[in-house]
Amino acid sequence: MRMHARNVNARSRLLAVAGVLALATLALVARAGWLQLLHNDFYQRQGDARFLRDIPIAASRGSILDRNGEPLAVSTPVASIWANPQELLQATDRIPALAKALAISPDALLQRLAQRAEREFVYLRRHMSPDAAQAILALQIPGVAAQREFRRFYPAGAVAAHVLGFTNIDDVGQEGLELAFNDWLTGKPGVKRVIRDRLGRVVENVDLLRAAEPGRDLVLSIDRRLQYLAYRELGAGLREHDASAGSAVIIDVVSGEILALVNLPSYNPNSRDSDILNAQRNRALTDVFEPGSVMKAFTAVAAMESGKFTPDTLIATSPGYTTLRGGYTIHDFKDYGTLSMAGVLIKSSNVGAIKIADQLGAEQQYSAYRRFGLGQSTGSGFPGESAGVLPAASAWGPVEKQTIAYGYGVSVTALQLARAYAAFGNGGVLPTPTFVKGTPPAQRTVVDRAIAGKMLAILEAVTGEGGTATRSNVTGYRVAGKTGTSRKASGGGYADKRYVAVFVGLAPVSRPRLAMAVVINDPKGEEYGGGAVAAPVFRRIMTGALRVLAVPPDRIEQWYASMPAESAPAIAARAAANASTAKTGAAL
């Protein structure tokens, strides 16, 4: 009986176990069916999430081109190495090899990963050459991958740095036109879906979700040839006079297009060295200075508009100095005696300018200065452009009224001066400077055409015999312009033996095409004035610019005399063709 009971119990237990196993099997089958047939979409997404990734497709930034289509800024493809710290930290034995490939210490790399252990993405090295990145990927280190990006490259380097500016490591504009036109230049990144293996490597491209759209190109008014020319000659002028800094701006008299803009010292925008920060300032648009005697041209305009003066009106400047209220004595270079108003500009008489201002109302002067764009932005659209300083006429006392007449108590930029003088060559019409080729000219009339013509004639006489700007003359071309020299402000007064030398001019006078301002800071030595320091730089740049642009000479005999005898027939033929073209254009 006992044996029989024992057998019954064993059989019952086996049946019970079998039943439990059968129920478990049935439950597993039901669960599998439920997962695979009814709710497979959820788990498919969960599985895909561990292998599928939506990754960005880098979009190239638009190129910046000069007016002739020459590249000034382009984007080149590069590779950036990144890692998933969670995976890489599980393979610490591979970190020394990775650190060696990245040219960093293993301890530094390990510390960096440990600090970001909770993340799934961290850059290890940005903007490597594709070959160097591929060499790292070939090590097959877990959690290490590469991402395609673009890096900005500036073929002109320091020559165009202040115009173009630069981008940061993420290809976003930080300075200059790169910043001003960042939205225009920036492309739209794309997105693609890929499958990655456990090492983070892409093993299959699944779908293109959105194609990358490259940024739009930007065509500037800048002529790269003139940019190099101005940079070279400005540098030569600074070295010759041991000057600390300088700027040169060339604009088209009619359209206002900026053909060249250079500053020294400059910097290489291809370098991200933090030591270059002090050289990144675009002095031609951001640095203001007292213009000195170039201001006398605008004072002469106010004088002629008042009806009290003509270019031939006589002004007594003896004994060559005058004392202002407050005890300040203002000197001319020497006692010029009695000068015509034109002579005041030709000889650059401070006393004469003061005598003119004494017969004008403050509002008359202020109106002329303001109409020529002083004390306001030029409208170029350049980030950080300074408006300069022109105090309101209501704030002028007798001394301010006099000193502003010859260029003190007012501050300007190089671009403001080039633009203002362009109006004299454009029939009294002030252009709005632009860095973009083909921008519809934005102009306004600021002075009567007849007065502008008289001023152009006076400014041409300034460059002639007996004037202060004889060193500005360009062989074969008529030049008009004005010199300026001012002492540098310092500590509430003026620094001893520190000057700003300025020359602003136009050419050719018969049909003005180009206006240029040259500003040189802190020239050292016996010569420091605008006529001795800035005017020769103007001459060299303008000589090259007129020839590069094939502007016909308007002093034909002088042009011929400067050429070798054997080349005279060819020169004569070219001059005749240019003259014919000019007449045809005028007729049209």
pLDDT, one tens digit per residue, over 415-425 is 999 999 999 99
CB 381 within 8 A of CB 180: yes
| Most confident stretch, 131-145, 192-206, 224-238 | 224-238
Rounded CA gap, 159 and 264, in Å? Answer: 9
Mean pLDDT calculated for residue range 193-206: 60
Same-domain pairing of 361 and 403: yes
Rounded CA gap, 7 and 14, in Å? Answer: 11
What is the token pair recorded at 422? 């362009």
Q: Please choose, from the candidates 304, 320, 313, the residue with its C-alpha nearest in 3D space to the C-alpha of residue 364.
A: 304
- Tell me what pLDDT residue 12 has: 75
Q: Which of 219, 244, 274 is the last residue of a domain?
A: 219
What is the number of domains present in the chain? Answer: 3
- On the question of pLDDT at 191 being above 80, the answer is no
pTM for the structure as a whole: 0.83
Q: How far is CA 152 from CA 123, 155, 166, 177, 207, in A?
A: 19, 10, 8, 13, 29
Which residue is associated with the tokens 């136009």? 506
Percent of the chain with pLDDT over 70: 86
- On the question of pLDDT at 388 being above 80, the answer is yes
Same-domain pairing of 509 and 575: no
Split at pLDDT 50, 70, 90, the class of 116 is: confident
Q: Please choose, from the candidates 375, 313, 322, the residue with its C-alpha nearest in 3D space to the C-alpha of residue 345.
A: 313
Buried b (16+ CB within 10 A) or exposed e, 211-239: ebebbebbbbbbbbbbbbbbbebbbebbe
Helices and strands in the chain, H and E counts: 21, 19
- Tell me what pLDDT residue 586 has: 35
- Tell me what pLDDT residue 584 has: 41
What is the token pair recorded at 520? 């040189």
Rounded CA gap, 2 and 4, in Å? Answer: 5
Q: How do 321-323 and 52-57 pair as beta strands? A: unpaired
Catalytic annotation on 318? no
pLDDT, one tens digit per residue, over 73-86 is 999 989 888 888 88
- Tell me what pLDDT residue 557 has: 73
Same-domain pairing of 146 and 229: no
Query: What is the DSSP secondary-structure string of 140-168?
Result: --TTEEEEEEEEEE-TTGGGGHHHH--B-
Q: Tell me whether residue 11 is in a domain.
A: no
Same-domain pairing of 197 and 312: no
* Residue 140 φ/ψ, nearest 5 degrees: 50, 55
Rounded CA gap, 321 and 330, in Å? Answer: 5
Split at pLDDT 50, 70, 90, the class of 21 is: confident
Q: Tell me whether residue 41 is in a domain.
A: no
pLDDT, one tens digit per residue, over 121-163 is 889 889 888 888 888 888 888 888 888 888 999 999 999 999 9
Q: Residue 141: which residues within 8 A CB-CB, separation 6 or more?
A: 88, 91, 94, 97, 98, 199
User: How far out from the chain centre does Cα 152 lie?
Assistant: 15
Rounded CA gap, 94 and 88, in Å? Answer: 8
Q: Tell me whether residue 155 is in a domain.
A: yes
What is the token pair recorded at 361? 């109302």
- Tell me what pLDDT residue 279 has: 76
How many residues belong to the chain? 588
Q: Residue 70: how many CA atoms within 13 Å on its side-chain side? A: 15
- Tell me what pLDDT residue 582 has: 46
Q: Please choose, from the candidates 284, 157, 304, 287, the residue with its C-alpha nearest in 3D space to the C-alpha of residue 228.
A: 157
Q: Residue 270: how many CA atoms within 13 Å on its side-chain side? A: 13
Rounded CA gap, 95 and 144, in Å? Answer: 11
Q: Peptide bond preceding 398: is omega within 30 degrees of 0, i.e. cis? A: no
CB 484 within 8 A of CB 295: yes
- On the question of pLDDT at 563 being above 80, the answer is no
Provide the CATH number for the domain around residue 292: 3.40.710.10
- On the question of pLDDT at 46 being above 70, the answer is no
Split at pLDDT 50, 70, 90, the class of 486 is: very high
pLDDT, one tens digit per residue, over 313-348 is 999 999 999 998 777 899 999 999 999 999 999 999
- On the question of pLDDT at 112 being above 70, the answer is yes
Q: Residue 350: which residues within 8 A CB-CB, separation 6 or more?
A: 293, 330, 331, 332, 406
Query: What is the DSSP secondary-structure string of 414-477?
Result: HHHHHHHHHHHHTTTEEEPPBSBTTPPP-EEE-S-HHHHHHHHHHHHHHTSTTSTTGGG-BTTB
Q: Residue 24: which residues within 8 A CB-CB, separation 6 or more?
A: none
- Tell me what pLDDT residue 273 has: 67
Same-domain pairing of 198 and 254: no
Same-domain pairing of 146 and 288: no
Same-domain pairing of 478 and 513: yes
Rounded CA gap, 172 and 213, in Å? Answer: 16
DSSP label of 405? H
Same-domain pairing of 548 and 575: no
Which residue is associated with the tokens 């006398």? 296
- Tell me what pLDDT residue 315 has: 96
Q: Tell me whether residue 140 is in a domain.
A: yes
CB count in 10 Å sphere of residue 389: 13
Q: Residue 83: how many CA atoms within 13 Å on its side-chain side? A: 31
CB count in 10 Å sphere of residue 166: 22
- Tell me what pLDDT residue 579 has: 54
* pLDDT mean across residues, the chain: 87
Same-domain pairing of 215 and 319: no
Q: Tell me whether residue 13 is in a domain.
A: no
- Tell me what pLDDT residue 587 has: 33
Q: Tell me whether residue 308 is in a domain.
A: yes
- On the question of pLDDT at 266 being above 60, the answer is yes
- Roughly what angle, to the nearest 10 degrees, separates helices 414-425 and 449-462? 110
- Tell me what pLDDT residue 588 has: 29
3-state SS assignment for residue 198: coil
- Tell me what pLDDT residue 189 has: 82
pLDDT, one tens digit per residue, over 280-313 is 889 999 999 999 999 999 999 999 999 999 999 9
Q: Tell me whether residue 523 is in a domain.
A: yes
Rounded CA gap, 117 and 121, in Å? Answer: 10
3-state SS assignment for residue 19: helix
Same-domain pairing of 253 and 136: no
Which residue is associated with the tokens 């790269």? 224
- Tell me what pLDDT residue 541 has: 98
- Tell me what pLDDT residue 316 has: 95
Q: Tell me whether residue 160 is in a domain.
A: yes
Residue 500's H or E segment, with its range, is strand 493-507
Provide the CATH number for the domain around residue 142: 3.90.1310.10
Least confident piece of the model among 130-134, 523-527, 576-580: 576-580
Which residue is associated with the tokens 């020319």? 229
Percent of the chain with pLDDT over 90: 60
DSSP label of 125? E
Rounded CA gap, 271 and 490, in Å? Answer: 33
- Tell me what pLDDT residue 231 has: 98
Q: Please choose, from the candidates 536, 581, 578, 585, the residue with its C-alpha nearest in 3D space to the C-alpha of residue 554.
A: 578
pLDDT, one tens digit per residue, over 418-453 is 999 999 999 999 999 999 999 888 889 999 999 999
Rounded CA gap, 247 and 36, in Å? Answer: 75
Q: How far is CA 348 from CA 340, 429, 531, 547, in A?
A: 12, 25, 11, 30
Which comes out higher in pLDDT, residue 459 or 26? 459
> Which structural domain, as residue segments, surrounds residue 63?
54-219
- On the question of pLDDT at 179 being above 90, the answer is yes
- Tell me what pLDDT residue 20 has: 77
Mean pLDDT calculated for residue range 180-192: 88
User: How far out from the chain centre does Cα 396 lie?
Assistant: 35
- Tell me what pLDDT residue 583 has: 45
Least confident piece of the model among 518-522, 524-528, 541-545: 524-528
Same-domain pairing of 213 and 235: no
Same-domain pairing of 251 and 177: no
Catalytic residue among 255, 293, 380, 486: 293
Q: Which of 198, 219, 240 is the last residue of a domain?
A: 219
